[in-house]
Structure 1
Amino acid sequence: MIRNFNYFIPTRVVFGPGCLEQLATIAMPGKKAILVTFADLSMSRLGYVERIVGLLKKQNIDVVVFEKVLTNPLTGTVDEGVALMKQEGCDFIIALGGGSPIDTSKAMSVAAANGGRYWDYVPAGTGGRKPVEKSPLPVVAINTTAGTGSEVTPIAVITNPDTNEKVSLRIDELYPRMSFIDPELMLSLPKGLTAFQGLDAFLHAAEGYISRQSQFITDRFALEAVRLVYQNLGECVNNGKNLEARTSVALASTLAGMVIALAGCITEHSMEHPISAHFPRVPHGAGLALIFEQYFTKVVEKGTVNDRLIELAQAMGVKVEGTDEAARAMCFVRAGVEMLRACGIDRISHEAFGIENPDVDQLTEDTFGYSSGNFVRDPYELTRDDVREIFTKSLLEAK
């Protein structure tokens, strides 16, 4: 039976190997752009910045380059970017990279159009909760990673380092005007980033499939996305030049982004945000990897979505046997752990990412505080004791 659904994703998606060349011919939403990308200058070293500037020059579009974005983008970076935009008279934004530059660009688009500091508009925690009254400036996303799905979502996630809060702003006006997903730009991604980003895409799809807000069309996207990631991510990590595998995971990431745009994430993402807020060297995907096994084991214990977990495992191509529903649902968890192992991220080094003496009580309170927006989508109840247990087993006992 086909259920009702409500589909709204206004982003123009340009997808496929070599599609970046269309920057020279597709009409842009302005005349002068600020190109927002990573602070490590990796996009310049790879030649992507120069290439994009050259393609846009064919349309007589000037570009100002802003290379200041960190792995977990910060409020100060957003405000600095807005100041440069105003100084240079830029009327639209190009985000080059993964979710960090794209989210930074979305946040900049809000503050540039509405005035003040970006944190004034953040709707949770210490955010100012001001309404976004003027339409944000247009954002054009150019993906060089496959994971966040931010190229097709109305969500920006920014960290305030002064308060250790990592908070989402979600409004329809934040959908990028257009997005270019060219898997050729992903061939040089290092193994770790490939794995962490791919896991993020996998979990966007899986969480959206479990979400109370799942619907007919997101279910179709989610099942295909988990299949594509599960069957191709290990190859991307271990043979990064495989363009076919890269293209499959890039497609999965975009599909999974559409899933969370319509169905949203559940509380695994709520629990990860405090981790990378308190330990900013932790990439989002690494935080998700840290809690994956314990989180979904707890979900199986709850028992309310075991049928959906079984369907996810089957979509991945996992052989699900037996009659006990909980045991069958654990096939999804075990397959996920197997995928992490194949990608080399089943054991995250706490020292490598600066995780020292994690305060699980504080992480729990932050999850139920500023990061609680996803709880409404859980089809089960996670208590403070549940969340504390997951953090304890994942961050302390597994160290």
Structure 2
Amino acid sequence: MGCCHYHPVGEGCDGAFTVDTSRVTFGRGCLAELGDRARALGMKRVALFSDARVARLPVFEKARQSLLAAGLDVVVFTEVHIEPTDESFLDAARFASETKPDGYVSLGGGSVIDTCKAANLYATYPADFLTYVNAPVGVGKPVPGPLKPHIACPTTSGTGSEVTGITIFDLLAMSAKTGIASHALRPTEALIDPDCTTSLPSEVVAASGLDVLSHALESYTARPYVRRPAPARPSLRPMSQGANPWSDLGCREALRLMGLYLERAVKDASDSEAREQTMWAATLAGIAFGNAGVHAPHGMAYAVAGLVRDFRPSGYPDEEPLVPHGMAVIVNAPSVFRFTAEVSPERHLEAAQGLGADTRGARPEDAGEVLAKEVIRIMRAVGMPNGLSGVGYTEADVAALAEGAFPQQRLLQNAPREMSKPVLTDLFRQAMRYW
């Protein structure tokens, strides 16, 4: 598909899209480049962000030594909270304000990268916490200017945070996830070294991989960019632009790779090809959704993760209840795609085919079911819970889940169909169980 209007521009809608991404270096062993790249960005005093588990792995010392060998002063923060909260973001921001680094490095999964983004923001432009948080939960004030340079080094093949301007957290007062979205938050560079995923437990590979899969599916089926209202000024064009020819390229390839390699990457940690290809898929899907936006499965996931009671997944820290982000997303996905397919059945069928489904003979009216069944097949193959009931929810929770998801308007408005509270209620009900 070429760079053209594959839908007519709607009245009052935008007729252009913008492509943004971090500078990306990808390849085995490229983490060793960290010190040289940090120095080239002018860093002298570096804040190295990680979490307690990654800090005990060889990759952490490799990163630290690379920075030290480049002659840089390194201050370390390893108190990142898995599935960050407003409180843990503020702790990180206080550390950054006190140590006054002139550059940042994040080494870890999405929680680490997101925490580093927030620390950089609030240390650079101090403000009341809700100032930059997405409306309607927060004020949604634009970030005033550029941040300090940030090199993101992912150790999971999932969130894509290393190439997006989005940071996500739990707002404890609301028991719900929300976030901050700004071009300024996008890391300056991403060093993506597949060797960093070698020690990942299979459960983490599965959940993070399904986050990748849903990034691609949601961006590919999002409202087209020519259906999004035109911004007041071109510089205000949002990152969640809607599906566009650039994002489509990344989505298609990410879906193909996940269909081929995700199950292998989960089942065999020694399958280096599968681990590498799923990490490349994560990068492609991250760049895609960073320029198109995700929609309802992610918007609903914030309520699923925020209202968790007692679910503790294997492969993750068990200090407190947790629904990992990718798991919280994928339990909603089949329900959502059954609903959205009528708007663009050809795209839903193409997505299913990309994942490996046999779509021969499928009619447009079959598209939602075909894609849902393929996602469910993959969920079962990699050991995901059976819908919302599998992570501890019941029919009695449906109303609260819908209330928790509805404020995520930045995401829900990117869906191809309207996501009202009654619609969300029905989607959550249908997501309770799939097999």
User: If the length of structure 2 is used for normalisation, what is the TM-score?
Assistant: 0.85
Cα distance between partner residues in 2 of 1:313 and 1:334:
9
Q: Aligned residue for 1:32?
A: 45
Task: Show structure 1 runs of 4+ deviating over 6 A.
Answer: none
Equivalent residue runs for 1:158-173 within 5 Å = 158-173=169-184
Measure the CA separation in 1 of the matches of 2:394 and 2:99: 42
Q: CA RMSD in A?
A: 2.2
Matches of 1:267 and 1:291, distance apart in 2: 8
Cα contact 2:45–2:102 (8 A) shared by 1: yes
Distance 1:251 1:110 in 2: 28
Q: CA deviation at 1:67?
A: 1.4
Question: What CA distance in whole angstroms lies between the structure 1 residues aligned with 2:344 and 2:82?
Answer: 33
Instruction: State the partner residue of 2:194.
Output: 183
Counterpart of 1:65 in structure 2 is: 76
Is contact 2:213-2:258 (8 Å) kept?
Answer: yes
Q: Which residue of 2 aligns with 1:316?
A: 355
Aligned partner (choices 290, 307, 311) of residue 331 of structure 2? 290
Q: Which amino acid is 2:92 matched to? A: G
For residue 332 of structure 1, the aligned residue among 356, 366, 371 is: 371
Alpha-carbon distance between aligned partners in 1 of 2:97 and 2:434, rounded to the nearest angstrom? 48
Does the C-alpha gap of structure 1 residues 348 and 210 become closer, same or farther in structure 2, counting only changes over 3 Å?
Answer: closer
Pair 1:269 & 2:290 matched? no
Paired amino acid for 2:423: D
The residue aligned with 2:243 is 214
Q: In the superposition, relative to structure 1, how do residues 119 and 136 fare at CA in structure 2: closer, same or farther (>3 Å)? A: farther
CA distance in structure 2 between the aligned counterparts of 1:310 and 1:354, rounded to whole angstroms: 31
Task: Please give the alpha-carbon distance, in whole angstroms, between the structure 2 residues aligned to 1:323 and 1:172.
Answer: 40
Alignment partner, residue 415 of structure 2: 378
For 1:288 and 1:217, the matched residues in 2 are separated by 24
SS in 2 for 1:68: coil
Q: Secondary structure at the match of 1:377?
A: coil
For the structure 1 residues 88 and 294, does the alpha-carbon distance in structure 2 shift closer, same or farther, using more than 3 Å as the test?
Answer: same
Question: The residue matched to 1:95 in structure 2 has which SS?
Answer: strand
Deviation at 1:161, TM superposition (A): 1.0
Q: Is this contact kept in 2: 1:140–1:179, CA < 8 A?
A: yes
- Following superposition, the deviation at residue 356 of structure 1 comes to 7.5
Q: CA deviation at 1:181?
A: 0.7
For residues 47 and 94 of structure 1, the distance between their equivalents in structure 2, rounded to whole angstroms, comes to 16
1:47-106, CA deviations, whole angstroms, 9 ceiling, x for partnerless residues?
Answer: 222221111011111222211222211111111112112222212221111111111111
Contact 2:220 2:243 in 1 (8 A): yes
Equivalent position amino acid for 1:380 in 2: R
Contact 2:28 2:194 in 1 (8 A): yes
**Partners of 2:422 and 2:124 in 1: CA distance:** 43
Superposed displacement of residue 164, structure 1 = 1.6
Q: Which amino acid aligns with 1:281?
A: L
1:3 alignment partner, SS class: coil
Q: Distance in 1 between matches of 2:367 and 2:127?
A: 52
Instruction: Tell me the secondary structure at the aligned position of residue 124 of structure 1.
Output: coil
Moved more, 147-156 or 383-392: 383-392
**Superposition map of 1:1-399 within 5 A:** 2-4=2-4, 6-26=17-37, 27-38=40-51, 41-212=52-223, 213-279=242-308, 281-300=322-341, 303-347=342-386, 359-369=397-407, 371-395=408-432
Kindly state the Cα deviation for residue 109 of structure 1 after the two structures are TM-superposed: 1.3
Q: Distance in 2 between matches of 1:113 and 1:314?
A: 46
Do the aligned partners of 1:270 and 1:367 also contact (CA within 8 Å) in 2? yes
Amino acid at match of 2:326: G
State, as a whole percentage, how many aligned pairs show the same letter.
Answer: 29
CA distances 1:210-253 after superposition (whole Å, capped 9, x unpaired) = 11221112111101001101110100000012111111111110
Q: Give the CA deviation at 1:323.
A: 4.8
Secondary structure of 1:69's aligned partner: coil
Q: Is the 8 A contact 2:293 2:414 kept in 1?
A: yes
Verify the 8 A CA contact 1:322 1:328 in the aligned structure 2. no
- Give the TM-score, by structure 1 length: 0.92
The aligned length equals 392
Which amino acid is the alignment partner of residue 110 of structure 2?
G
3-state SS of the aligned residue for 1:308?
helix
> Which residue identity does 2:398 align to in structure 1?
V
- Could you report, residue by residue, the CA deviation over 1:339-383 in whole angstroms, capped at 9, with x for unpaired residues? 1111111536968x56588632122122222x1212322222233
- Cα distance, 1:46 vs structure 2: 1.3
Give 1:276 shift: 0.8
Asked if the contact 2:339/2:368 (under 8 Å) is kept, the reply is no
Contact 1:320 1:331 in 2 (8 A): yes
Q: Note the alpha carbon deviations across 1:376-398, whole angstroms, 9 max, x for none.
A: 22222233222112212324x66
Q: Which amino acid aligns with 2:48?
A: L
Distance 1:379 1:296 in 2: 10
Name the counterpart of 2:228: none
Cα distance in structure 1, aligned partners of 2:99 and 2:32: 26
Contact kept in structure 1, 2:131 and 2:138, CA below 8 Å: yes
Partners of 1:236 and 1:94 lie apart in 2 by 27
**C-alpha deviation, 1:163, in angstroms:** 2.1
> How big is each residue's C-alpha offset from its partner over 1:159-180, in whole Å with a ceiling of 9 and x where there is no partner?
2112223112111111101111
Give the Cα–Cα distance (whole angstroms) in 1 for the partners of residues 209 and 82 of structure 2: 16
Secondary structure in 2 matching 1:34: strand
CA distance in 2, matches of 1:319, 1:198: 22
8 Å contact kept, 2:340–2:368: no
CA distance in 1, matches of 2:165, 2:189: 12
The 2-side partners of 1:234 and 1:313 are apart by 16
1:112 maps to a residue whose letter is A
